Amino acid sequence: MSTNPFIIPNIPWQERPANSADVIWRYSANPIIPRDLIPTSNSIFNSAVVPFEGKFAGVFRCDNKKREMNLHVGFSEDAINWTLGHDPIEWLCDDPEIGSYQYRYDPRVVWLEDRYYVTWCNGYHGPTIGVGYTYDFKKFHFLENALLPFNRNGVLFPRKINGKYVMLSRPSDNGHTPFGDIYISQSPDMIHWGEHRFVMGTKGGWQSTKIGAGPIPIETPEGWLMFYHGVLTSCNGFVYSFGAALLDLEQPWKVIRRGASYLLSPQTLYECVGDVPNVAFPCAALYDQPTDRIAIYYGGADTVTALAFTKSADVLEWLKHNSEI
Ligand code: BMA
């Protein structure tokens, strides 16, 4: 059993369809998680998975039928068929001031040094970035809110850079946020965050309203491969697509390349129709380094969870020819 999170021989996978030239292609049996997988759920989407003990585990956003947003644990043998806890994760925390529930959503999970860290959008007088950890996906510990409200899309890098923990985030407002750029914050201890740096802002078209980091960035020899969502405001509301950028390995606030087009936009029924139409929102990626395969997990229309595939060499090659910084 491999303990290296980037060696995943059992990564879910389908080859690119023969008639497709897409850089990212969808799993043919999407969505993999229906909205009603557990009895209490209204919707299950924007969720995060990691390899765990030769199989897979994850933290899932489940909105219940009261429309409360919360996080549930999940396990899978194949990373496609999931069993989810019926009750939300209970976060162990000695300080009720920060540990009590307001809302929790859009988790990310990363193996970092000796444990799995979880970050999510945490309600504390407005949305901010909650940070917690688990060793075993049984006991979950809440650490702190990393940043002040209002902030969303907190995404950790999978290792320290220059001796510091590094987190991407997207300062926001208390509502639906008609703006938003990606920043980096750094920390010596996962509690105190500072040395904030601007990474990149909105651009035209599919990423003209706001952008936000998606899965944990993937380390490649050429830089950190970051998938991120971009939002366009149409006359019918927000449209969430996702694309890719490459960040400097040592100074990840420096953008080396940034794809001009989206790589996946809401076009299928489960991306276009649901509680919030026209949303493809990635929160996780499995990466099997030996075969270069990537499986991306994304929410469809704020209702279901879907899967898409690519190879890191294909994205890097595409970025070489399609970059506009
Ligand atoms: C964002 C977040 C996401 C959601 C998206 C589209 O602000 O709330 O969870 O997927 O809006 O509704």
Answer for the pair 173, 150: CB distance below 8 angstroms, yes or no. Answer: yes
Closest C-alpha residue for ligand 1 atom 9: 106
Q: What share of the chain is helix, strand, coil (3-state, %, to 5)?
A: 5, 50, 45
Picking from 43, 45, 57, the residue whose alpha carbon sits closest to that of residue 5 is 57
Indicate if ligand 1 lies below 6 Å from the C-beta of 241. Answer: no
Ligand 1: atom nearest CA of 106 is 9
Task: Going residue by residue through the chain, which has 325 residues, state the pLDDT in tens, using 9 for 90 and above.
Answer: 446 899 999 999 999 999 999 999 999 999 999 999 999 999 999 999 999 999 999 999 999 999 999 999 999 999 999 999 999 999 999 999 999 999 999 999 999 999 999 999 999 999 999 999 999 999 999 999 999 999 999 999 999 999 999 999 999 999 999 999 999 999 999 999 999 999 999 999 999 999 999 999 999 999 999 999 999 999 999 999 999 999 999 999 999 999 999 999 999 999 999 999 999 999 999 999 999 999 999 999 999 999 999 999 999 999 999 999 9
Picking from 213, 223, 219, the residue whose alpha carbon sits closest to that of residue 246 is 223
Amino acid of residue 314: D
Amino acid of residue 41: S
Closest C-alpha residue for ligand 1 atom 2: 106
Expressed in angstroms and rounded, the spacing between residue 280 Cα and the centre of ligand 1 is 10
Ligand 1: atom nearest CA of 172 is 7
- Phi and psi at 207, nearest 5°, equal -120, 35
Expressed in angstroms and rounded, the spacing between residue 75 Cα and the centre of ligand 1 is 24
